[in-house]
Amino acid sequence: MLDDLKSFLLDRIDRRIPPELSALVDAAVHDVNRLGYDKWGFSPAATKRTLLVMEWLYRHYFRVEVHGIDRVPPGRGLLIGNHSSQIAYDGMMVATAMLLDARPPRAVKAMIEKIFQRLPIVNVIMTRSGQITGLPENCERMLAEEELLMVFPEGARGSGKLWKDRYKLVDFGTGFVRLALKMRAPITPFAFIGGEETAPAFLDIKPLARLLGLPYFPITPTILPLPLPARCSIWFGEPMFFEGTGNEEDAEVMPMVEAVKRRIGELIHEGLAARTSLYI
């Protein structure tokens, strides 16, 4: 009975997917088995259903503008940007941009916090749409397979920023640069503008967050996960290439990390200066 209802609902959703959206996903995916999944659990069918919603958010709710998306080089690579928005609307919109506005369209695999893999239903949805736990071995294997990975080096500290700290970058880890060095992958920096305004947080109740096993528990004027309709923009920089093996001492790697962080900061400044409105 439940299986029949599920099949019925999925069929109704699939009928609503425009052919052009379906074609974009088909053009972006590869190495899908006869069951409809790649080796990481990514499902083109599930992605098309998700894209049906994301396209509306992207075009009509957040009204995302993209600058310099042609700077993202083909083949393996890392997309590295600032984190914001409490819930990862920034990552969703960047991944959507790479499907809707990149030519050719690209299916991005995003590195997510381990906590999401422990949440029932959420973990399956994220896996089916290309979100992968950010373990080094996962990242290395995917880059070896010429995948495009998105990483937010600020992690939960970035997505959980309070309003008073909006657009201020916190410390980056060194892992993404070591990964780029080891796998000889270019780093494309980007700035996401508008994420801080989708769910501005004025207080983080840390004791409650610890009790619930969450990285933070924000108090916002929104009813999460419903965001405010902030106008958003994505600013891509030129790809950055670094030489090394990934086994260098921190003293050698940190200048590379700071160079990427500094470039993202410049892109944030550029994006904020170009913004003409927040919600209108």
- Gap between the Cα atoms of 20 and 238, Å rounded: 29
- The label of the residue with tokens 């590295």 reads 80
> What confidence score (pLDDT) does residue 211 get?
77
> What confidence score (pLDDT) does residue 222 get?
73
> What confidence score (pLDDT) does residue 94 get?
96
> What confidence score (pLDDT) does residue 131 get?
77
Q: Quote the strand ranges of the chain, DSSP E.
A: 65-67, 77-81, 108-112, 131-133, 148-151, 187-193, 203-204, 218-219, 233-236
pTM for this prediction: 0.90
- The label of the residue with tokens 């050719």 reads 104
> What confidence score (pLDDT) does residue 35 get?
83
All domains in the chain, ordered by first residue:
2-274 (3.40.1130)
Q: What separation in angstroms does the CA of 42 have from each of 79, 92, 125?
A: 19, 15, 9
Residue 153: strand, helix, or coil: coil
> What confidence score (pLDDT) does residue 124 get?
67
Per residue in 60-107, pLDDT tens? 999 999 999 999 999 999 999 999 877 788 999 999 999 999 999 999
Q: What separation in angstroms does the CA of 34 have from each of 38, 39, 43, 44, 253?
A: 9, 11, 11, 12, 42
Which segments in the chain show pLDDT lower than 70?
1-4, 6, 113-126, 209, 216, 223-225
